[in-house]
Amino acid sequence: MIPYICRKKVKSMICELERKDIEEFKTTNILPQTPFWGRVKKNQGFIPQGFELTISKNLLFSTASSSEKVVEDLLILIKYVNDDTCIAYVPYGPKLEPSFENQGLFLEYLSESIKPYLPSNCIFIRYDLIWENQWAVEEAYFDNSGNWLGPPPNQTQEFRMNFGTTNWNLQKSVQDNLPKNTFFLDLTLNEEDLLSNMRYNTRYNVKKANKKGIKVREYGIEHMDIWYKLYLDTATRHGIPLQNKEFFTTILKNQDNTKNGTTVKMLMADIDGKFLSSMFLVLTKKRGTYLYGASKSSKNNAMASYALQWESIRIAKAWGCTEYDMFGSAPNLSRKHPLHGVHVYKKGFGGDLFHRMGCWDYPYNKKLYDFYKLQEATN
C-alpha cells in the first residue's frame, strides 16, 4: 500500500475501482480496451478482468479540482507464467492521460489501488501506455531533418517518470508489446484531400492499381485458407514469427459487428481472381485500425497493397470514423530499423507520425520481477 506520508500528501486525491463485466464497457476508439479484445485474448490464454475506474481530476492535472471526478473503463489481462505466479497486463491503458508531470504519480496510485483486486501471486502490472511520448515533444530529441531520435536511456526515462512518487517503483519494460509508433490519418478530410496528402508515388500506385483492374472486396471466414496462405508467404519473406490459423479465425469470430461494438472486415485484393494481398480492418467507435496485412510475392503485389489500403481508408470513412490508425511503424526513417520498409509504405499515405510511451512496469514482488525481467532480456 502507499505509505502514510504519501496518503497524507495525496489525501484529497481519489482512485477507486469497481469490478465491471467487460461486456458492459462503454464504446471506445482504443481497440485493445474493448470487450472484443478481451474475448480474443481469453482464447489465447489470458484471463480478462474489467473495472470501472473513478479518480479525482487533480490526480491527472495538478491544477484541477479534487471535487471533479473522471470515470473510465479499464481492461486488465492476467497471464499465468507458471502454476505459482502470474502477471497483469493493461493493453493500451489506462485511457485517461495525465499531464507529463503527473504520469508517474497517477500510475503509482493506480497500481497500489488495484493491487488488492489482483491475484496475490501477481509479480507486477505492466501498462502499455498510449500516452504521447514525453521526449517526442522536445526538440533536443530530433535531428536536423526532423527525424525523431527516440527517447533517452531507460535510466533517464525512469528518473523523470518516478519524480514526485513515493515508492520510486516504475520501471521501463525490457520490451514493448503493442506498437509504440504509428501513423494517424484524419478521416474528416474529403477523399480528394486525402489523396492530395499522399506522396506522389503512393497516389500513383493507387490510381495505377485501379487501371490495372485490381479489385478489393470483403470476404468471410470461408476465405480464411486464402488469407493464411498469403500470411505464410509474408511471414516467411520477412522472418516474422508465425501465428497459427486459429489465431486469425478467433479475430473474426469474436467481433460484435455493431456500431456500438467492434467490427472486423477481412479485405482482399485480387486481379482476375488471383488473390495478391489481404488485410484485417477493425472499426471501433470513430477509429479504423489496420490490424494485420499479408501479401503474395509478385510484381503486382505492391499495387494491390496500395489499392487495399486506400479502399480500407474509404470504408472506415464511410463507416463514420474520424481517424485511421496504421498500427505500427518505425520511429523514424532510419534504414537500419527493421520496419523501415513498412514505415516508408505507411508514411506515403500522408498521416501524422505519433510516438507512444510504450510499456512500463510496476513490480509487486521485486525479486521475482528482476528474475522475470532477466528472462525477457535474454529471450
Query: What is the structure's pLDDT at 1?
Result: 44
**Contact present, 167 and 108 (Cβ < 8 Å):** yes
What span, in angstroms and rounded, lies between the C-alpha atoms of 229 and 232?
5
Confidence class for position 5, pLDDT limits 50, 70, 90:
very low
Q: For residue 155, is it within any domain?
A: yes
What span, in angstroms and rounded, lies between the C-alpha atoms of 267 and 218?
4
Domain edge (last residue) among 321, 338, 367: 321
Task: Quick: pLDDT tens for 204-215.
Answer: 999 999 899 999
Q: Are 53 and 99 in a shared domain?
A: yes
Sequence-ordered list of residues with C-beta below 8 angstroms from that of 203, at least 6 positions apart, any chain: 195
Q: Are 80 and 30 in a shared domain?
A: yes
**C-alpha cell at position 102:** 503527473
Q: Are 168 and 42 in a shared domain?
A: yes
Q: For residue 335, is it within any domain?
A: no
Q: Are 15 and 143 in a shared domain?
A: yes
Q: Are 279 and 363 in a shared domain?
A: no
Model pTM greater than 0.85? yes
**DSSP-H helix ranges across the chain:** 4-9, 35-42, 103-114, 154-162, 191-197, 200-212, 224-238, 245-253, 301-319, 340-347, 366-378
Task: Quick: pLDDT tens for 243-258.
Answer: 899 999 999 999 987 7
Residue 4 has pLDDT above 90, yes or no: no
Q: Are 168 and 40 in a shared domain?
A: yes
Query: What is the structure's pLDDT at 8?
Result: 39
Q: Are 309 and 238 in a shared domain?
A: yes
Helix (H, G, I), strand (E, B) or coil at 162: helix
**C-alpha cell at position 283:** 472499426
What span, in angstroms and rounded, lies between the C-alpha atoms of 168 and 42?
32
**Tell me, what CATH number does 85's domain have?**
3.40.630.30
- The count of domains in the chain is 2
Q: Taking phi first (over 0 means left), then psi (-120 to 50 degrees means alpha), and beta for anything else, what does residue 220 get? A: beta
Closest among 128, 112, 97 to 10, alpha carbons compared: 112
How many helices (H) and strands (E) the chain has is answered by: 11, 13
Confidence class for position 300, pLDDT limits 50, 70, 90:
low
Q: For residue 346, is it within any domain?
A: no
CA–CA–CA angle 96, 98, 99 (5° rounding): 155
Q: For residue 347, is it within any domain?
A: no
Q: For residue 157, is it within any domain?
A: yes
Q: For residue 68, is it within any domain?
A: yes
Q: Are 203 and 105 in a shared domain?
A: no
Q: Are 314 and 371 in a shared domain?
A: no
Q: Are 213 and 102 in a shared domain?
A: no
Query: What is the structure's pLDDT at 339?
Result: 86
What span, in angstroms and rounded, lies between the C-alpha atoms of 267 and 132?
30
Sequence-ordered list of residues with C-beta below 8 angstroms from that of 16, at least 6 positions apart, any chain: 53, 54, 55, 113
DSSP letters of 20-71?
A: --GGGPPP-S-GGGSHHHHHHHHTTT-EEEEEEEEEEGGGT-TTS-TT-EEE
Lowest mean pLDDT, pick from 8-22, 214-228, 230-244, 273-287: 8-22
**Contact present, 76 and 114 (Cβ < 8 Å):** yes
Q: 51, exposed or middle or buried, with CB in 10 Å at 0-12, 13-18, 19+?
A: buried
Task: Quick: pLDDT tens for 331-345.
Answer: 888 888 888 888 999
Q: For residue 330, is it within any domain?
A: no
DSSP state of 180: S
Q: For residue 165, is it within any domain?
A: yes
Domain of 142 in residue numbering reads as 4-178+357-378
Helix (H, G, I), strand (E, B) or coil at 105: helix
What span, in angstroms and rounded, lies between the C-alpha atoms of 363 and 167?
11
Q: Are 213 and 269 in a shared domain?
A: yes
Q: Are 136 and 195 in a shared domain?
A: no
What span, in angstroms and rounded, lies between the C-alpha atoms of 165 and 10?
11
**C-alpha cell at position 25:** 464497457
CA–CA–CA angle 87, 289, 276 (5° rounding): 115
